[in-house]
Structures are given as structure tokens and as C-alpha cells.
């Protein structure tokens, strides 16, 4: 059972999200929070697998709450999935920099939302196509350039794997494209996380785009 905390300031939306994510029976909402401060407290109390985090809430906002959760050494396995109506470049990048494992818009299909929750719980990033495009636009901005020393220090195969992660592929898909096993792909991803000092795959996606490893036109 995947355990979820919902952080959303509107009561009706919280109820709707609960009904949507619990629909298939393999996801359980263990707590709800009406603002970022309450979300952090509920997460520390319940230790969920995934947090559905709104961005704009009264008091502590979702970006700050995401950062507090992602930087808490006692919460290493909690993935934050930002779910919001806002797709502005800066908001998306700020959320991913804060440690979000995924970013979806609230008009997402219910089935896609549940798949995203399952993916984040399994350690895979979740970015809707429109949000991925936003990341690519932000990555093209000069201020978002990656230190070339980081990427140039990677082995050729590591660069290939990083590029595939940047395209949003999971380990099985990476293995299929590069003719390696999913276990080997997972090993490469672990090395990239360590070498690039990234908390999770979502941050690797950002790095891959900023490094120019993913063609924004694709």
C-alpha cells in the first residue's frame, strides 16, 4: 500500500484528490494538510511514501515545505509530487530545485495522477509533457546553465544514461534504448545521483536539460 499525504488549502479539492488517488485501492491517504507548515508536521508524523503538494497556500508555501521535507535527514524516502494549476518556468524550476520528485498540473487525467503517485513512490520522476517543456525552456536560459565541469567529468555511458533520464525514461526504458539491463541502468542512475549531488531523478532531469543533453524540439 502506497501511503500519501495531501497538502491543499481548499477543502473540496482535498476531498476530490483523496477520492481520485484512492480509487484503485493500492493508495491510501494517511493525512491531509491545509498549508505547508501542517504538511511538514503531518509528513514527519506519518512518514508517507508520497506527498501531493500544492504550491500556493496560506502561511508556509508549497515550495518551502517541499524543501524542508527533502532536506530532512529523517525523511529520505518521502517523495514530493507538486500538483498545481501553475506552470510558470520559475515555479517549476524552483519546485524541482527544492527537491520535488515530480510536478503535475491539476488538470491531469485521474489515471495519470495515480500512475505518477506510483512512480514517485518507486523513485521515478513525474513530469507532465507541458511541464517537461517548461523545464526545457528554463534550461535554455543562460542563468540555468550547468557547471560544465560536472558533466564533462562523467563517463560516456553515464552521459548517455543522463540524457535518457532527461527524456523522462524509467530504468527499463533506458535499458531497452541502450541495450543494458534495467539493473545496470539503475546502477548508472545511482552513480549519477552521487556524482552530480542530486537528490533524485527529477533533479537529474533538470541537469540533463541544462547541460544540453536533451533536444528541446523533441
pLDDT one-digit tens code per residue, 40-59: 999 999 999 999 999 989 88
Stretch 196-204: mean pLDDT? 78
- 3 or 133: which leads in pLDDT: 3
pLDDT score of 217: 47
Q: How far apart are CA 71 and CA 50, in angstroms?
A: 15
Q: Which helix or strand (DSSP H or E) is residue 16 part of?
A: helix 11-21
SS3 category, 75: coil
pLDDT (mean) for 125-135: 66
The single-letter DSSP state of residue 29 is E
Spatial CB neighbours of 163, under 8 Å, sequence gap ≥ 6: 208, 213, 214
Which of 18-27, 81-90, 96-105, 115-124 has the weakest average pLDDT? 81-90
Q: What is the pLDDT of residue 142?
A: 45
| DSSP assigned state of 78 | P
Give CA–CA dist 158/162, Å, rounded.
6
Task: Say whether pLDDT at 183 is over 70.
Answer: yes
Judge whether 41 and 133 are in contact, CB under 8 Å.
no
CATH fold, domain 146-210, is Arc Repressor Mutant, subunit A (1.10.10)
Residue 117 CB contacts under 8 Å (≥ 6 apart), including other chains: 2, 4, 21, 27, 50, 52, 81
**Domain ranges in the chain?**
2-137, 146-210
Which pLDDT belongs to residue 215?
63
Please check the confidence at residue 218 and state whether its pLDDT lies above 80. no
Cα dist. 81→53, 115, 129 in Å? 6, 12, 15
In this structure, which topology does domain 2-137 adopt according to CATH?
Rossmann fold (3.40.50)
Q: What pLDDT is stored for residue 143 in this prediction?
A: 47
Confidence at 95, pLDDT banded by 50, 70, 90: confident
With a pLDDT cut of 90, the percent of the chain lying above it is 42
Amino acid at each position: 500500500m502506497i501511503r500519501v499525504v495531501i497538502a491543499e488549502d481548499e477543502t473540496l479539492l482535498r476531498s476530490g484528490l483523496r477520492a481520485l488517488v484512492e480509487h484503485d485501492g493500492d493508495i491510501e491517504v494517511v493525512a491531509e494538510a491545509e498549508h505547508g507548515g501542517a504538511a511538514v508536521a503531518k509528513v514527519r508524523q506519518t512518514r508517507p511514501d508520497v506527498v501531493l503538494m500544492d504550491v500556493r497556500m496560506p502561511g508556509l508555501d508549497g515550495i518551502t515545505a517541499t524543501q524542508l521535507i527533502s532536506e530532512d535527514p529523517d525523511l529520505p524516502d518521502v517523495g514530493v509530487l507538486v500538483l498545481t494549476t501553475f506552470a510558470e518556468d520559475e515555479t517549476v524550476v524552483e519546485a524541482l530545485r527544492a527537491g520535488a520528485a515530480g510536478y503535475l498540473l491539476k488538470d491531469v487525467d485521474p489515471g495519470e495522477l495515480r500512475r505518477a503517485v506510483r512512480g514517485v513512490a518507486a523513485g521515478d520522476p513525474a513530469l507532465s509533457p507541458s511541464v517537461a517543456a517548461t523545464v526545457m525552456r528554463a534550461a535554455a536560459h543562460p542563468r540555468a546553465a550547468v557547471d560544465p565541469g560536472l558533466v564533462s567529468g562523467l563517463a560516456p555511458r553515464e552521459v548517455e544514461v543522463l540524457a535518457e533520464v532527461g527524456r523522462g525514461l524509467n530504468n527499463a526504458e533506458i535499458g531497452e534504448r541502450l541495450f543494458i539491463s534495467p539493473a545496470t541502468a539503475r546502477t548508472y542512475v545511482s552513480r549519477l545521483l552521487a556524482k552530480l549531488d542530486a537528490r533524485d531523478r527529477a533533479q537529474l532531469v533538470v541537469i540533463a536539460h541544462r547541460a544540453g543533453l536533451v533536444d528541446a524540439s523533441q
